[in-house]
């Protein structure tokens, strides 16, 4: 397995964790559950860090994925931790992460094929 294949598998696992953490929650419940909120933010940080470790060739080949936005979200959460927009974290976990997961699964199939 190539480093990119391994990293894509890791990213898929992270996305699945985020989706699982929020699956049965409303946005209000999410905002009130510090444990889930902390776990989701941590996993989003991991997504941002791990995507930066993918090869530039892979990122260029799959431009439909917003690689820079993923890294940007990580940077925002780290450097502006005191100004986290919980609505944006919720939207990311419920909309962006499932979309990313679909892209990652397609990439994984391409790499294995």
> What angle (nearest 5°) sits at the alpha carbon of residue 88, between those of residues 34 and 92?
90
**Residue for token pair 């990652």:** 104
User: Number of structural domains, the chain?
Assistant: 1
Q: What is the pLDDT of residues 73-91, one digit of tens each?
A: 888 888 887 888 999 999 9
Average pLDDT, the chain: 94
Q: What is the pLDDT of residues 21-32, one digit of tens each?
A: 999 999 999 999
Q: Is the dihedral of CA 72, 37, 43, 108 positive or negative?
A: negative
Domain membership of residue 54 as a residue range: 3-112
**This prediction's pTM:** 0.92
């Amino acid at each position: 397995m190539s480093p990119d294949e391994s990293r894509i598998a890791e990213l898929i696992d992270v996305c699945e964790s985020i989706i699982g953490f929020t699956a049965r929650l409303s946005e209000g419940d999410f905002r009130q559950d510090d444990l889930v909120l902390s776990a989701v933010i941590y996993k989003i940080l991991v997504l941002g860090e791990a995507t930066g470790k993918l090869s530039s060739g892979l990122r260029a080949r799959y431009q439909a994925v917003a690689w820079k936005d993923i890294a940007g979200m990580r940077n925002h959460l780290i450097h502006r931790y005191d100004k986290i927009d919980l609505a944006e974290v919720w939207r990311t976990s419920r909309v962006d992460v499932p979309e990313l997961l679909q892209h990652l699964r397609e990439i994984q199939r391409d790499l294995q094929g």
